[in-house]
Amino acid sequence: MKPVALDEFCRFRFLSQPRFSPSGTCAAFVLTEIDRKKDAYRSFLYTMKNGQISRLTSAGEERSFLFSDDNTILFPADREKEDKGIDPLTSRYYSISLHGGEAVPSLVFPIPVTKLLPLPGGDFLVLGKTVPGWEDLYKGDRKLRGAFLKQRKDNEDYEEIAQAPWWWNGSTYTKGAYTSLFFYSGKKKSLSRLSGLNESISEVVLTPDKRSAYFLREPVKPLLPLGGCAELCRLDLQTGSITSLVQSREDLDITGIAAGDHFLLVLASDRRYGLNTDTDFWKLSYLDGALTFYARHGESVGSSVGSDIRYGGGYSLRMSGDVCTFISTRFDSSHLFRLEDGLITQISDVPGSTDSFDVFGDRLICVALRNMRGQELYDGKGRCLTHFNSTVLRGRYVAEPKILNIDRNGHSIHGFVLCPPDYDPAKKYPVILDIHGGPKTVYGPVFYHEMQYWAGKGYFVIFCNPTGSDGRGSFMDIRGHYGEEDFADLMAFCDAALQAWPAMDEANFFETGGSYGGFMTNWIIGHTDRFRACASQRSISNWFSFYGVSDIGVSFAADQCDADPWSNPEKLWEQSPLRYADRARTPTLFIHSFEDYRCPVDQGYQMFTALISHGVESRMVCFRGENHELSRSGKPSHRLKRLQAITDWFDSHRG
């Protein structure tokens, strides 16, 4: 069998956003594929009816959609850009019949729009962008629009910052823009503002009768914290009146809402473990607005199982009647759960990752990674409904993850080992330790392209879920203790792997990781010389500069380090890998992206400079036009260069 190739990920097709039509008679989803010639991703809409899968669109830019009725889909696109150039303000939606035919222009908004909710009579609730100083752009006045575009062009080399964060990963400078709630009149073809100025709307849902909407709003301030400020409000769609219902507080951080038939489901955490605290469920009465506790979950909502063969998202939680179905990560896999009458039950148990889903009555469809294959669509009974990726790995060697669990210091470390093809116990093979990001994510039994590629090249690949990982409740809490139990867990796992597989060559031991895994790589090289070479990706090296530069720096750094630069600078410095960089002796490659504002490029610069100033072999590779998602959704050519750079670095340092 042939090994998995460097560019194998380009052959996968990625599924996302499965949704039922309003009456459940059919469903639709997005399928994305890689276009090597254009070095881009192309996305199409597909429908499923009576078991038949059909492609609905062909332009390749249909990345999201909504049903306007059982026979019509709306999707955002800008098919006029070739004639008029890219329009930074206007949002256009096209409609297409499920029976086929050409997509036709349907809705035009004078501002960037992020979400539409259909109302009776062709009206919509709209979430759209508001720019400070230009709050009336939504009215569509041509003179105001012209003045805004001229001001934007005149100041394209000038930025004025008035709040933090001033940029966001993948979207550059925010210019203080925030999200507002609007009403769109289908008859007048115009928007009217519903939410106030200087308040940002993070989520909005309609009640099933479409007489009310509930939304979360937060005040726009010079400093915007991560969570803790959301206010739950009700909009009466008959009168237009807005009522404030519940304000988040220290022990009730509202993070999400979903509308049932008789009550509003509210997701909120008590922050006992800081920002990473998992949510529990509350319910709010439609009749009197009373909020009561509904169910304790203590686990995450959504999939936190890592993989590099996904593109796009979808629902992680849905209401059908008063029954809530949701995805949650447990141990090393994400499954479907049902919340009914205050009781939570698990309704799927197949190892892997359930990535997104939709539900209609007792019918369910989901996109999942299972059986070491690419994504497919499955029904509620676990039956595979599509075969988009069934032949991708045919004839390829795919290493089955072998479980390696160890006990250390009163807790279990769960991990995996990938063996090289034709593994001979009498020979010696190099080893790569791969560390996940987060740290509140997990590695699970799913196909991970980069690891399979290294296994195919003759490496053992080992990976585990140390303290700080998701899927095990409070196990994920390492606030103020980065580099302690987590580092010890990783080193113990390495020791156990070497002992369990004597064919692993301890003299050719390599390590890599991204985000938190990049932090840990930087930490490792200052605390051990056991690795022959390391590759640190999109990392954190200095909590002081991260605090002031990252888009989540102020909230995340203070929360995760249990310190800030003024209250406890010693603790912040103690948890910074840069402090120990003078001890490093391991040749290290640093990979960063210039538009990564989550773990900015300065973090790599500092470690690189520290190493070369102490005579340690080092190299840095940076990508323009990429952000924190380089390895998952970056340009295909950049993803190939990244993986090749890491592999070449390890290959060149093998003894």
- With 80 as the cut, is the pLDDT of residue 260 above it? yes
For strand 460-465 and strand 172-173, is the pairing parallel, antiparallel, or unpaired? unpaired
CA dist., res. 351 & res. 420, Å (int)? 23
Comparing CA positions, the residue from 425, 371, 359 lying closest to residue 398 is 371
Asked if 488 and 317 touch (Cβ cutoff 8 Å), the reply is no
Residue 79 pLDDT: 79
Its CATH class, for the domain covering 399-652, is alpha beta
Which token pair is 478? 């390492």
By CB atoms closer than 10 A (0-12, 13-18, 19+), residue 378 is buried
The reported pLDDT for the residue numbered 83 is: 53
Residue 601 near residue 622, CB atoms below 8 Å: yes
**What is the rounded average pLDDT for all residues in the chain?**
96
pLDDT in tens, 566-614: 999 999 999 999 999 999 999 999 999 999 999 999 999 999 999 999 9
Give 524's contacts (C-beta < 8 A, 6+ positions apart).
487, 490, 511, 531, 534, 586
The mean pLDDT value for 437-445 works out to 98
* Cis, bond preceding 401 (omega within 30 deg of 0): no
For the chain, percent of residues with pLDDT exceeding 90: 96
Rounded CA gap, 51 and 62, in Å?
22
Q: Looking at residues 428-455, what average pLDDT do you find?
A: 98
Closest by Cα among 423, 425, 302 to 367: 302
What DSSP character marks residue 519? H
CA dist 223 and 161 (Å) reads 11
**pLDDT beyond 80 at 81:** no
Kindly state the average pLDDT of the residues 189-202.
97
Two tokens, residue 568: 């406890």
How far apart (Å, rounded) are the C-alpha atoms in residues 162 and 37?
42
Give residue 627's identity as a one-letter amino acid code.
N
In this structure, which long-range contacts are made by residues 138-141, counting pairs with CB atoms below 8 Å and at least 24 apart in sequence?
138/109, 138/110, 138/111, 138/180, 138/182, 138/191, 138/193, 139/110, 139/190, 139/191, 140/110, 140/190, 140/191
pLDDT tens digits, 29-69: 999 999 999 999 999 999 999 999 999 999 999 999 999 99
Q: What are phi and psi of 487, to 5 degrees?
A: -65, -45
Q: What is the model's pLDDT at position 568?
A: 96
Q: What is the pLDDT of residues 105-138, one digit of tens each?
A: 999 999 999 999 999 999 999 999 999 999 999 9
Q: Which of 85-99, 102-116, 126-140, 293-307 has the lowest mean pLDDT?
A: 85-99
What number is the average pLDDT over the span 527-538? 98
Q: Percentage of the chain surpassing pLDDT 70?
A: 99
Distance CA 310, CA 643 (A): 17
Copy the structure tokens of residue 561. 């380090």
Q: Is the pLDDT of residue 649 over 60?
A: yes
The predicted structure's pLDDT at residue 82:
52
Residue 276: CB atoms within 10 A of its CB come to 21
pLDDT at 80: 73
Q: How far is CA 45 from CA 65, 113, 164, 318, in A?
A: 8, 20, 37, 21
